[in-house]
Structure 1
């Protein structure tokens, strides 16, 4: 049975070949790593010609990676190869997403990130707030206090 990571690498290569065919230009296969962390599903390192994917999000969202996330990241490399340094989700990238991959260009994924980026409940005088791990740790270490934007009271751990 083909491993999940191997299926992603195959999809990357298929996307690169499709781009080569559609744009009548050759592209070398990028280095593919599975070391992306946090809420980010994937990233393209342009100068290194490298793609990184989040293995935790991948394990729970294989279909989305194959259909949207892999082409999204490959489109960044193709845009860089064809146009040089451009806006990450600018018109060149959007053009590649639409004309080469036939996809709606979305700048953000819609995956559930609770597993990779837990939040912590805090309370003010008027409502509950969800803080990121970084803000939670800053509060616990006494480095930072956060105020509610509505009632201006200090947030307290629930």
Structure 2
């Protein structure tokens, strides 16, 4: 998916602003990372620490600009900042949570709540007590006879819903 140039500039500017804010609040200087728009699947963004690179999902970005600007970009920048200051630590550990709160004023959250139906189709499976949504990978495993899944609530076998 090709993003409009103005949106790419907006994301890059937000990354720069987040790093600048982190530098001011922490008394550090962080170089600009490489910013890519090649993240796939249901993942909104990822930080590649050793490469000093951020990757964003172009489909989710185009549909959720506000969430990216306010939450997802600071989330990923926080990973880079923590890596620069502390090295390899737990991805969403105490250091990352502190940066999210003290630098960006955000409550740390490890998962986004974006609608991913465009990037990750799901399949309905029934157990008798509720409808379950399974990923394409799990659906294919069931279809090939490689896996069976049971409902965690009633314990019955999941079958493809009609």
What TM-score do you get using the length of structure 2 for normalisation? 0.89
Deviates more, 1:127-136 or 1:137-146: 137-146
Q: Is the 8 A contact 2:148 2:157 kept in 1?
A: no
Match of 1:113 among 112, 116, 127: 116
Aligned residue number for residue 39 of structure 1:
42
Which residue is equivalent to 2:51? 48
Report 1:5-154 matches (<5 A): 5-149=8-152, 150-153=154-157
SS at match of 2:40: coil
RMSD across aligned positions (CA): 1.7
Q: CA deviation at 1:124?
A: 3.2
Q: Does 1:156 align with 2:160?
A: yes
- C-alpha distance in 2 between matches for 1:151 and 1:25: 53
- The runs of at least 4 consecutive aligned structure 1 residues that moved more than 3 Å come to 124-127
Structure 2 gaps of 5+ residues are none
Q: TM-score, normalised by structure 1?
A: 0.91
Unaligned runs of 5+ in 1: none
Q: Distance in 2 between matches of 1:16 and 1:114?
A: 31
